[in-house]
Structure 1
Amino acid sequence: MRLDPGLSRTDALRRMSEALAAHGLPARDARFLLLDLLGLSATDLILRGHRPLGPEGAATLEGAVARRVAGEPVARIVGAWEFWGLPFGLAPETLVPRADTETLVEAALALHPDRGRPLRVLDLGTGSGCILVALLSELPNATGIGLDRSHAALVQARANAVRNGVGTRAAFVCADWTAGLGGAFDLIVSNPPYIARDTIRGLDIEVRGHDPMAALDGGPDGLGAYRSVVEALSVGPVRLAPGGALAFEVGYDQAEAVGMLGTQAGLGPAVRHHDLAGHARVVRFGPV
């Protein structure tokens, strides 16, 4: 697809939408790309949509459409995405925040109707920090630690915490699950890698080609990370505080298996929370 520098923004949006639709991609992706990459608001497009793209704008949008047609997600192209109504920058080492993961935030917040309590939160495999930052944004007196094996992911998570106004209440640690940590936490959350290794090659190109493999690969059966976390919590030194809870995001068919892992480790009965599609998306242990 070629865009003439003299083309108006409005006409460029139409051309981009048509090009994406010809490849079976949603027209709304064109709008996301044009607004974000040209630094425009929706109002700008309405009031100043007649203005020409110019050479730089045309080249930028041509490249973006080519990347989208090749299977790169919009979030990767613009380098950011929204989660829980908050903006999050992305790095190659972080997952794109997904709407399903908001179920984990909802489940955790439902345990604490008194949002003013001074809770200690631990986010295992924090990635972009979206879960921890979302929780701290709703719990003004809580503090939290985000842990990840990727230093680059933690740099991005720290930037996201600062950007969203919770940087003074969040710390980030580079470690493998709970290694090097100790103490009791009121809330432990995790969206770990949970894709069975042999099925990754069958995932959509937007995932297998652009999400970090370390954030996808859950081992031979997809349950490796859950076993590691459950075992660590059952022997310490990281533990749940009295009345505390552990909440996992799980794959659409993993709730029973993850629930059994936690129950057998003595974490108590498992409670399931469902996403908007009706899948058991979160498994929680405690409080009773």
Structure 2
Amino acid sequence: MLAINFNIGTLIFIISSKGLSETNGIQTFQKTSGLEDVYFSSKLPEFDRTKSQNVTALVGKTTFLACSVKNLKHNQKVSWIRHKDVHILTAGERTFTTDQRFSAKHNTDDEWVLVIKYVQERDAGIYECQIPTQPPQAYQIKLNVIVPHVGIQGSPDLHVDRGSMINLTCTISHTPEPPAYIFWYHNDQVVAYDSPRGGITVLTENGEDTRSHLIIKNARGTDSGNYTCKPSIFKTATVRLHVLQDDPPRELHHTSDGSASVTFSPVVFVLSILLETSTAVLLAVVN
């Protein structure tokens, strides 16, 4: 009987000890968690300053400006500000500009990205990634915009003779990569290489500079007008083509009986009279 009482007492002691241990463990965990919360809440947000502060974009393309912020609290939002006019573009993922080319994305817990679509030359400059601390912290990124050069040889006006071969050359330079495509327009209409007119071909040379040659055989009056080179880089060039109409000074006409007669143009007729008059005066002086 004594042995049974001893075992029961021992069991109660063990259970009590385990309960006490678990209680102490819970209290210890709560204290540790509280200390961690205090520790992390006391850390100020800061930028990852290893990110590049220079970004280069090609005009007409989409570019991304990124900054990383550590220890950002849930109620804090990262803002993007355009430095030259101190305009707030975005806060968090909300946009505060009427220019719909700008937007913000939160890719990861730390990374905040300003997206600029269809980059324009005027977008070049400094942008600030800003976090709302006291005082506010800012991380500046400089956006460089590459503007390619597009030109047509002989512009703004090019003259060719009727019946000759037209060769328009468009040169694209100062671009990190060749354009994906190049279209030619004649008076705002795309040049159709397989049109009934025929004799139209395009040759493209890729290299440090890209050249597109629009070749039109047997120039005619209807080929006159504006020709525009439109590559995929959102820059264009235009030339005004003039096809010269070289009419002969006199024309050969056929009469009703089949015989031929020569008709002089008024200018040639007047010159003939003047020449004959001058010759007569000269002969009179000599005689």
TM range (shorter): under 0.3
Q: Which has the greater radius of gyration? A: 2
TM-score normalised by L of structure 2: 0.25
More strand by share: 2
TM-score normalised by L of structure 1: 0.25
